[in-house]
Amino acid sequence: MPITVLSQETINQIAAGEVIERPSSVVKELMENAIDAGATAVTIEIRDGGTSLIRITDNGCGIPKEEIPLAFLRHATSKISRVEDLLTVSSLGFRGEALSSIAAVAQVELITRTEHSLTGARYCIEGGEEKSLQEIGAPAGTTFLVRNLFYNTPARRKFLKSPNTEGNYIIALVERMALSHPEVSVRLLVNGQNRLHTAGNHKLKDIIYTVYGRELTKELLPVQADFPKIHLEGYVGKPLVSRGNRTYENYYINGRYIKSELITKAIEAAYHGFVMQHKYPFTVLHLSVDPELLDVNVHPTKMELRFREEDAIYQAVYDSLRTAITGEELIPRVTPGK
Ligand code: ADP
Ligand code: MG
């Protein structure tokens, strides 16, 4: 083939693949947007594992009608404006890639109204092509309907697993999101059936109960500790509730579910001697870390974080878990007057 420049449509579809791999990626991006919009309640509805329909409704700040088409442009965001902002960014999103990516590979309908606007707006976009924008009455907040994901990219569609499996990915993701934001009421409906509903009452233990059940919730140890620039809280399982794989190890940094070799190592070191070899503990840990210690700008899906001051993070996790497990105070307290 001779060299040619790809069409904008093809460029957009390829770029979309970076962000939107499967239905659960859509749910992740739209839930993050809802949380960034300050929502206190988010409802997710899926049909056929999210392949035919994903509907997400939030009661967040809404999008002004005149900004809607902009929100669907690549690299359009209200969350950062300069590269320096990355040092202090605390929102879950900041790349401005999600809406454009989703719209490139699905049929999207958006209904939104800001609190101070009298009327709302409805916007339709399919395969990156704007279809309509009109004023309509709507509750304050935002609803996204995403239909027929990958309808125009058969190669991607082919790689989807069964609706049941895709649905399970979404359920696992929504559970993680609910655990990461105890202040947000999260509701998930799968093919019309209620699958998850959290109260949004800030009580992490209630969410653990909802997600993991009563037996496990009885075996939890609370964790709470403060270190310079790092605050930790959450629950860990007593050593006896360990599992044969790492699916029980959950941790969140500044409200973001991540994977980190450093934190995994610290957790497992804290349990060393308390669980058998090849057994892994249960944890739901929230780390609040000064954004300056983090580099979130690693990969578009942002599962991996980079840390400055790795030792401090490792030690904070290790010490606070060890204290929770053994009941012994490992963290030296500064006594006034000494
Ligand atoms: P990012 O989240 O990285 O900024 P997105 O493509 O996900 O990029 O969203 C683009 C913009 O659209 C956001 O910056 C925000 O201003 C707006 N937006 C998206 N979803 C919502 C929502 N649920 N409520 C309010 N505003 C939203
Ligand atoms: Mg986003």
Q: Which fold has domain 219-326?
A: Ribosomal Protein S5; domain 2 (3.30.230)
The pLDDT, as a whole number, for residue 8 is 86
At 338, the pLDDT band (50, 70, 90 cuts) reads very low
At 332, the pLDDT band (50, 70, 90 cuts) reads low
Three-state SS for 97?
Answer: coil
Question: How far away, in angstroms, is 111 Cα from ligand 1 center?
Answer: 13
Closest to 128 measured CA to CA, from 160, 99, 155:
99
Three-state SS for 287?
Answer: strand
pLDDT, one tens digit per residue, over 107-164 is 999 999 999 999 999 999 999 999 999 999 999 999 999 999 999 999 999 999 999 9
* DSSP assignment letter at 136: E
Question: How far away, in angstroms, is 77 Cα from ligand 1 center?
Answer: 6
| Distant-in-sequence, close-in-space partners of 242: CB < 8 Å, separation ≥ 6 | 248, 271, 275, 276, 279, 280, 281, 282
* Cβ of 200 below 6 Å from ligand 1: no
pLDDT, one tens digit per residue, over 160-215 is 999 999 999 999 999 999 999 999 999 999 999 999 999 999 999 999 999 999 99
Question: How far away, in angstroms, is 2 Cα from ligand 1 center?
Answer: 39
CA-based torsion, 304, 309, 313, 314: positive or negative = positive
Nearest 10 degrees: Cα torsion 166, 195, 189, 149: -10
Question: How far away, in angstroms, is 75 Cα from ligand 2 center?
Answer: 10
Ligand number nearest CA of 37 is 1
Between CA 112 and CA 154 the distance in angstroms is 30
More confidently predicted of 298 and 201: 201
pLDDT, one tens digit per residue, over 36-89 is 999 999 999 999 999 999 999 999 999 999 999 999 999 899 999 998 888 888
The pLDDT, as a whole number, for residue 27 is 98
For the segment 269-298, the average pLDDT, to the nearest whole number, is 90
The pLDDT, as a whole number, for residue 90 is 86
Looking at the chain, the whole-number percentage of residues with pLDDT higher than 90 is 78
- Residue 250's φ and ψ, nearest 5 degrees, are -110, 135
At 23, the pLDDT band (50, 70, 90 cuts) reads very high
* Cβ of 34 below 6 Å from ligand 1: yes
At 9, the pLDDT band (50, 70, 90 cuts) reads confident
Ligand 1 atom having least distance to the Cα of 94: 3
Residue in 20, 31, 36 to alter for ligand 1 test, most ligand atoms within 8 A of Cβ: 36
The pLDDT, as a whole number, for residue 157 is 94
* Cβ of 297 below 6 Å from ligand 1: no
What class is the 8-197 domain? alpha beta
Q: What is the pTM of this model?
A: 0.93
Question: How far away, in angstroms, is 121 Cα from ligand 1 center?
Answer: 15
pLDDT, one tens digit per residue, over 235-274 is 999 999 999 999 899 999 999 998 899 999 999 999 999 9
Q: Which two tokens stand for residue 285?
A: 């840990």
Instruction: Tell me the residue ranges of DSSP E strands in 13-52.
Output: 41-47
Nearest 10 degrees: Cα torsion 287, 259, 102, 6: 130
Residue 8 CA to chain centroid, in angstroms? 29
Burial-class residue 44 by CB neighbours within 10 Å (0-12, 13-18, 19+).
Answer: buried
At 327, the pLDDT band (50, 70, 90 cuts) reads confident
Strand 230-237: give its sheet, edge to edge: 220-227, 230-237, 283-289, 249-253, 256-257
* Cβ of 104 below 6 Å from ligand 1: no
Domain residues of the chain, as ranges?
A: 8-197, 219-326
* Cβ of 74 below 6 Å from ligand 1: no
Between CA 38 and CA 46 the distance in angstroms is 22
**Per-chain mean pLDDT for the chain:** 93
